[in-house]
Amino acid sequence: MKIVVLVKEVPDTYSERKLNLETGLVDREANDRVLDEISERATETAVSFAESNPGTEVVVLSVGPASVPSALRKALAMGATSGFHVLDAGLSGADLTLTAEVLAKAVERIGFDLVIAGDVSTDGNAGAIPAMMAERLGVAHATSLDRLVISDADIRGERETDGGVITITAQLPAIVSISERLPDARFPGFKGIMAAKKKAIDTASLAELGVDADADQPRSIMIAVSEKPTRSAGIKIVDDGDAGTQLADYLLQNRLV
């Protein structure tokens, strides 16, 4: 079986992230760049399956700038077999439609039985890429799974909802995304780190994948960007015998009740 894991390099979640107010893009130079935590969980899911199922190949795939191989190396140190990096200047500021198209083309080139992704990245928060890829590839998708069981022919997962738990099954090939309820990722050991240095990372451009970033097709357009407002002190209610009335008025004025 061949499993492709979508991984993403993101600004460190433990630092304040900033926007470039000229481009509207995340200022990736303002923070350390790391492998997204949900990508680590997705990698852990694939590697854990491979460890108990000999012959399974795990390829970690990422789209991004020249710094991305550092994130890929961490996934390789966790036990992934190889990496694949889509690197092209035309991807700067890519929206969801272009990103999904590129990833779908890359997955077709790699070959796959199963694609595993995190449900929501910490920098974009869209959570739509797996479904958009499945539409392009014409395969089943099961998203935001809190539990995942993989077999040679299909996958079975569970997703919690307000009314209970939904059980989902899909025949392979398929694309799934997993939530933070799956197990934490392992910490790469020295042996894994050294082995990762020798593992292959293939690189492809948009032209090599047959993608035209400037093609006449729907792309989202950013129309405005502004800095996050400074946090205000808020309103303090002093109880002079009418605190209840003041609180009720505040809730009504702000449509909170």
Instruction: Say which CATH number the domain at 58 has.
Output: 3.40.50.620
Q: Assess if residue 90 is contained within a domain.
A: yes
Q: Assess if residue 257 is contained within a domain.
A: no
CA dist 34 and 10 (Å) reads 6
Residue 90, domain extent: 2-209
Q: Assess if residue 13 is contained within a domain.
A: yes
pTM of the model: 0.83
| Helix or strand holding residue 51 (H, E) | helix 37-52
User: Helical H runs in 57-211?
Assistant: 68-78, 96-110, 129-137, 190-196, 206-209
Count of alpha carbons within 13 angstroms of residue 142, beta-carbon side: 24
The string of pLDDT tens digits covering residues 42-54 is: 999 999 999 999 9
Residue 217 has pLDDT above 70, yes or no: no
Q: Assess if residue 219 is contained within a domain.
A: no
Q: Per residue in 113-131, is it b (16+ CB within 10 Å) or e — as a string?
A: bbbbbbbbbbebeebbbbe
Q: Tell me, what amino acid is at 178?
A: I
pLDDT exceeding 90 applies to what percent of the chain? Answer: 63
Domain total for the chain? 1
Q: Assess if residue 214 is contained within a domain.
A: no
Q: Assess if residue 38 is contained within a domain.
A: yes
> Is the distance from CB of 129 to CB of 251 less than 8 angstroms?
no
The string of pLDDT tens digits covering residues 89-136 is: 888 878 889 999 999 999 999 999 999 999 988 877 788 999 999 999
220: tokens are 């989202």
Q: Assess if residue 201 is contained within a domain.
A: yes
Q: Tell me, what amino acid is at 4?
A: V
CA dist 75 and 127 (Å) reads 21
Residue 181 has pLDDT above 80, yes or no: yes
Q: Assess if residue 125 is contained within a domain.
A: yes
The DSSP 8-state label assigned to residue 134 in this structure reads H
